[in-house]
Homo-oligomer: A and B are copies of this chain.
């Protein structure tokens, strides 16, 4: 979590449209909105950039500011917290629809590692098929929803290291694929690769079990744990 003052500046930027389309603004006008000096606005932007929460392109007449995925995550975290506090119903599951595509087989590699595999058996309750089903999310709303996963509590697979290298932690959610097979969705922890992809694992080979080929549509129901995580 960034410091409250910085979070607030980030929030202000978002209100002005820096999420998505991005905005062009001068530090002076930002300062007015924040009720701070031009110098402080400038410093805040520098610090937010260093934290990786915004991207900037400084031009002659102001700067182009865009909130990064990491930045949106910080906003989303508080949003979820407020949802809970203000008694907005928190979903118990999220549904996605994606198209099957072939990855490069890294999924299979990671799952085959004993460090991960043993945790999957223990924490998810099944011995995974050694491969992942990659789903490309196409609708805008699904991609949007996908990002919400980042701030929900999931089942954590701890990072570990073997002789060769070290492996980071990952976050899983139990899931139901095509309303038929129980499995899980796996997301790397705090690594922002492609936000429009869902990686699914299951105890069985999903392609044969569900008779899938590239381009087929698949529905996934992802189960959320109650409260949003709240930590740095």
Chain A residues in the interface with B (C-beta under 8 A): 4-5, 7-8, 11, 14-15, 19-20, 72, 75-76, 78-79, 81-87, 144, 230
Contact = CB atoms under 8 A, between A and B. Distances in A.
A144 B85 CA distance: 12
| Interface SS of A by simple majority | helix
B86 A76 contact: yes
Contacts of A230: 15
Contacts of A5: 4-5
For the complex of A and B, 9 pairs with smallest distance between CB atoms: A4-B8, A79-B82, A4-B4, A14-B85, A4-B5, A15-B81, A19-B85, A79-B86, A15-B85
Given A14-B82, A19-B85, 20 more contacts: A4-B4, A4-B5, A4-B7, A11-B78, A11-B81, A11-B82, A11-B85, A15-B81, A15-B84, A15-B85, A15-B230, A20-B87, A75-B82, A76-B86, A78-B78, A78-B82, A79-B79, A79-B86, A82-B82, A87-B144
Count the copies. Answer: 2
Contacts of A11: 78, 81-82, 85
Contacts of A84: 15
Contacts of A7: 4, 8
A17 to B, nearest CB: 9
Nearest to A33: B230
Contacts of A72: 86
Contacts of A83: 79
Nearest to A83: B79
A87 B148 CA distance: 12
Contacts of A76: 82, 86
A66 to B, nearest CB: 14
A43 to B, nearest CB: 15
Contact of A85 (B75, B81, B85, B86): B75
A50 B185 CA distance: 48
Contacts of A15: 81, 84-85, 230
A184 to B, nearest CB: 26
